[in-house]
Chain A
Amino acid sequence: MNTFLTFDLLLVLLVLTNLLLLVSSRLVTCIRTVAAQGVALALLPLVLGHDQVATIAGALLALTVVLLKGAVFPWLLFRALRVAHVKREIEPYVSYTVSLLIGILTLFAGYGIAARLPLPDPGISPHLVPVAIFTMMTGLLLLITRRKALTQVVGYLALENGIYTFGVAVARDGSPWLVELGVLLDIFVAVFVMGIAIFHISREFDHIDADQLTALKD
């Protein structure tokens, strides 16, 4: 199959998952979507160019990312969901329609920004950086406008997915540390998610609404 076609298909998948994240209120859907997004971007470096498919290190890395983002994180999140007894996001600060609109605007803005920044490798798809920016902005939007602590974690995962996509764009010629950093950030997320925090929040407050965490303010 034409690798460029596959590559663009994966990018379309990333865009679609972002749109779904912006409009879905069910937490189960959010978790599954962000997991699918993680798997899609794990495959990105593999179809990027023929030189990387061959390396065992590249394949191992992709496998690690698939396992973490596709299996470990959803498992952790579903566990937190079970403990916390919540099903859906209720009344986000910004409605789903408006979120969707803002999201699409950031996709256009992404194309504007990408046109100004010359990529190290001109052979790479021109859609990669805009999609990366769109994914980051989706994550930030979820982090800012949603009330449930769990949705905020999903937003953080999306933000991190976007940064990882960006890393794929700039780290073409294999700078190993970039990749290691990505994986480390993943591990960090794992600890962060476990962060015991959600468990403690649900035990302490009987819910996981981050917007109830308002005792400390000026």
Chain B
Amino acid sequence: MNLLLLLILIPAAAGLAAFAIGPDRPRRILLLATAALHVFITGTAAWHRPPPLGNGWLALDDLGLLFLAITSLLFLAAALYAVPYLAHEKPGAQADRTEPFLFVNAPEATFTGCLLFFLATMTLVCLTQRLGLLWVGLEATTLTSAPLIYYHRHHRSLEALWKYLVICSVGIALALLGNFCLSAATVQTPGGAAAPLALYGLIGQGHAGALQPAWLKAAFIFILVGYGTKAGLAPLHAWMPDTYSEAPALVALLSGALLNCALLGILRAFQVCLAADLGAFARDLLVLFGLFSMAVAAVFLLRQRNYPRMLAYSSIEHMGIITLGVGLGGIATAGALFHALNHSLAKAMLFLVAGNILTLYQTKEIAAVRGLGRAAPVTAALWLAGFFAITGAPPFATFLSELQILLGALSLDRWGVAALYLGLLAAIFIGMLDVFPRMVWPDPVRRGGGAPPVAGTLNFEPSADTAVPDGSPTPPPEPRHYAWRLLPPCLLAAALLVLGLAMPPALAQFFERCGMLIR
């Protein structure tokens, strides 16, 4: 059987099976096995590129392979994290962390099943070269991920779910309108309106030159705004902070993968524009959206009091950076694609560490987490490493990719863009510098000879208000299997270090090849 078909069918079948399996242990093993198998098949497909299936319904090009690999790796990290996480979550009613009420979790079978379906739909997005099927795949990701967001069944996650559904559905509907416009643009191509919207036809056979420019422009705008909603580009990013702060950490991680898939949808439309000689128009839009997203993220990052929300705004910033890089073109293109990989790894790591901090301290308030370095040294080290990685500091790979985008802007003499880019990066660095170290080191007040922690603080229950508690709260002892929850972030950090210090030449060439597709 074709490997491409297997990549989609295996997670889908496993998802169905997960609903049917009663006991927890076999279902968790199934999740891990599927994730590992998906990575393995992706690797095999990268080695021996499988033949396309049915006129571009399913085909693997370099760009698709890059995003497929990111998705697959992130899912493996999520699955590794999910097993100890789900083991820790209690069945039945439990008390909320910040407000006085009880809630239950969604059944674990539903959660696992939807995770696997989510993987199948994201894979479909990466593999197809038909713009119509790509749209169907992205629409399906919204559906399959909605139950994941509503895992903790209480009113805040319900609110996040509602916003996610409404905003993403409107975005997806606009993208459909964009696809209709693209179809209207094909009127003079050979075969007329009946010609399928497949990349091989539009680009490979040069049909794109015959597209009507007015319709194509409209199509690109709608697709950019529509998929941009799912990719977290401002101004339609409003669902992201809510979703990220209310969903479990591993779901936030997977939304990170979803952002990339939505970005792939934009890149596919960009490819069509390039082939139709509308590159300059599309580039300007991408640069504009990229810088605007960075600016919005910077504004909201500077006064953020909630660390999962901070990570969400950071995602908006990085999607802006990638969009900017693609829009600039030249050497910035390969840099942007490299950055897509780096950002995914760094953000995944941060989300998982944030999930661990949440388990330890039972609060999402930045001000209520103090002295992490003493309470949980490994977690604290990872949190700091994540800070350097996400702000693009050496020796992490994010430094290289952000630098390459800057060099790209300079080599094109886009001085204004380069200055704005640097200024926004600096503002965000300062905003984050205010947060991460403060959480790791103990409170200065306490260090200056405050009262030693009394026994009662061991069961510290943070209050809903955001006042800094006097004295560093001591977190409760680490839960069972906690060490296992440190493993995935450690692996991700190591990968970022390796990429930053010794990038394999083959991988660098791969990014160059990907970049050639969209420049």
Binding site for B on A (CB under 8 A): 116-120, 136, 140, 143, 149, 152, 156, 159-160, 163, 166-167, 169-175, 177-178, 180-181, 184-185, 188-189, 191-192, 195, 197, 200-201, 204-205, 210, 213-216, 218
Contacts and interface: CB of A to CB of B under 8 A. Distances in A.
B162 A201 contact: yes
Binding site of A, secondary structure by majority: helix, strand, loop or mixed? helix
A132 to B, nearest CB: 9
A171 B193 contact: yes
B304 interface: yes
Contact of A120 (B170, B176, B187, B246): B187
A174 B194 CA distance: 6
B194 A175 contact: yes
Contacts of A204: 154-155, 158
A218 B308 CA distance: 12
Interface in B135-157: 135-136, 139, 142-143, 146, 150, 153-156
Contact of B184 (A119, A140, A160, A213): A119
A114 B342 CA distance: 44
A120 B192 CA distance: 9
B371 to A, nearest CB: 26
28 contacts: A117-B215, A118-B214, A120-B187, A120-B193, A143-B170, A156-B173, A160-B173, A163-B176, A166-B177, A167-B180, A169-B184, A170-B181, A171-B183, A173-B192, A174-B194, A175-B193, A175-B196, A177-B132, A178-B180, A181-B136, A185-B172, A192-B165, A201-B162, A214-B159, A216-B156, A216-B241, A216-B246, A218-B241
Given A117-B214, A156-B166, A192-B169, A181 B193 contact: no
Contacts of B193: 120, 170-173, 175
Contacts of A191: 143
Best-surrounded residue of A173, A189, A197, A216 (most CB of chain B within 10 A): A216
Given A120-B192, A177-B130, 17 more contacts: A116-B214, A117-B215, A118-B214, A136-B177, A156-B170, A170-B181, A171-B183, A177-B196, A181-B136, A181-B176, A192-B169, A195-B146, A197-B165, A201-B158, A204-B155, A216-B160, A218-B300
Contact of A188 (B139, B160, B215): B139
Given A120-B187, A149-B162, A185 B214 contact: no
Contacts of B158: 197, 200-201, 204, 213
Contacts, number: 117
B162 A181 contact: no
B119 to A, nearest CB: 19
Contacts of B176: 163, 181, 185
Nearest to A162: B177
B242 interface: yes
A65 B177 CA distance: 18
B118 to A, nearest CB: 15
A169 to B, nearest CB: 8
Given A174-B194, A177-B196, A163 B300 contact: no
B207 interface: no
A138 B344 CA distance: 38
B106 to A, nearest CB: 11
Given A149-B162, A192-B169, A215 B156 contact: yes
Contacts of B255: none
Contact of A197 (B162, B181, B304): B162
B309 interface: yes
Nearest to B299: A218
B49 interface: no
B245 interface: yes
Nearest to A116: B214
Nearest to A178: B183
A170 B193 CA distance: 8
Nearest to A200: B158
B285 interface: no
A195 B130 CA distance: 28
A215 B197 CA distance: 42
B218 interface: yes
A181 B132 contact: yes
B212 interface: yes
Nearest to A218: B300
Contacts of B165: 192, 195, 197
Contacts of B139: 184-185, 188
A178 B183 CA distance: 8
Contacts of A149: 162
B173 A205 contact: no
B194 A173 contact: yes
Q: Which 3 pairs across A and B sit closest by C-beta, in order of nearness?
A: A120-B187, A170-B184, A213-B159
Contact of A170 (B143, B180, B245): B180
B180 A163 contact: yes
Contacts of B161: 197
A143 B236 CA distance: 14
Nearest to B164: A197
A216 B245 CA distance: 9
A157 to B, nearest CB: 10
Nearest to A153: B166
B139 to A, nearest CB: 6
